[in-house]
Amino acid sequence: MRRGWKMALSGGLRCCRRVLSWVPVLVIVLVVLWSYYAYVFELCLVTVLSPAEKVIYLILYHAIFVFFAWTYWKSIFTLPQQPNQKFHLSYTDKERYENEERPEVQKQMLVDMAKKLPVYTRTGSGAVRFCDRCHLIKPDRCHHCSVCAMCVLKMDHHCPWVNNCIGFSNYKFFLQFLAYSVLYCLYIATTVFSYFIKYWRGELPSVRSKFHVLFLLFVACMFFVSLVILFSYHCWLVSRNKTTLEAFCTPVFTSGPEKNGFNLGFIKNIQQVFGDNKKFWLIPVGSSPGDGHSFPLRSKNESQNPLLANEEPWEDNEDDNRDYPEGSSSLAVETET
């Protein structure tokens, strides 16, 4: 009976946590909806008098708004990608690993299993990176998110403002969302500013629209400053081909720590996120190269390049290349196993 109450309480807390995790998203959505009303109705339709100016403002605003909303949607609802079956321990290997009491033997078992995988990063002590919660050998750049309770390929961070883990599957969308957010705030601020001055000087009548216009400029400027800082930081990360986690903790390879281990040069680093086809760079569609399980290394490590060195073993097991079902900041750093 007591155990049943504990399980019910635990389930209730998990449910509350899931509901509360959507609060930041709800806040953003409400602010955006209000900004839409304030700009379209109170500014363009009520305050702006010139018909030509109204049309131009509304066309440009909606063009930016569509991409802003589209990228935000993709950032929220594109599920984080998990390691496929190949990296999970088989039932037999899992039993052997859990029944083995000697740590050195367990480490050797993982080393033997990792030889068949394109894995070139290690823990700080040089051991194979293993998640004892998901029971898998972590691919390079993969980390366990304690919020999502799953291992995420090329994990960058868990963002509460999109209630999602940002990683290989949606990092491009997240960057685009930041870019269009900056553009959205900048456009609102620049077009509203002249009317803010007119209201300030008393050149326009003090009506209800005045308060919407004044507050719209304030909110746009406030968000613009914070978003520019965040977007600039992620642009720097992309230019170095780093994730947020790798910026805080230097990756360790089989040859030792290397902070620029994935740095391929400015252009190639951008292509690692946005792809080779430039016509898809501004559109929120998947174009990142690869499958998120292996990544090219610097030229000095070509002998350890996961796209070359382990090509045959990787292709021999294509029948196992399937994903486990999905489990369950803004720089919120995940807790790694």
Catalytic residues: 159
Tokens representing 128 are: 């194979």
Tokens representing 225 are: 């400053």
Tokens representing 326 are: 């999905």
Specify whether the CB–CB gap between 71 and 180 falls below 8 A: yes
User: For residue 310, which of 99, 115, 142 has the smallest C-alpha distance?
Assistant: 115
- Phi and psi at 224, nearest 5°, equal -60, -45
Q: Reduce the DSSP state of residue 204 to 3 states and report it.
A: coil
User: For residue 176, which of 282, 80, 87 has the smallest C-alpha distance?
Assistant: 282
Tokens representing 332 are: 């919120």
Q: Reduce the DSSP state of residue 200 to 3 states and report it.
A: helix
Q: Which residues pair with 256 in a beta bridge?
A: 253
Specify whether the CB–CB gap between 238 and 269 falls below 8 A: yes
- Phi and psi at 281, nearest 5°, equal -65, -35
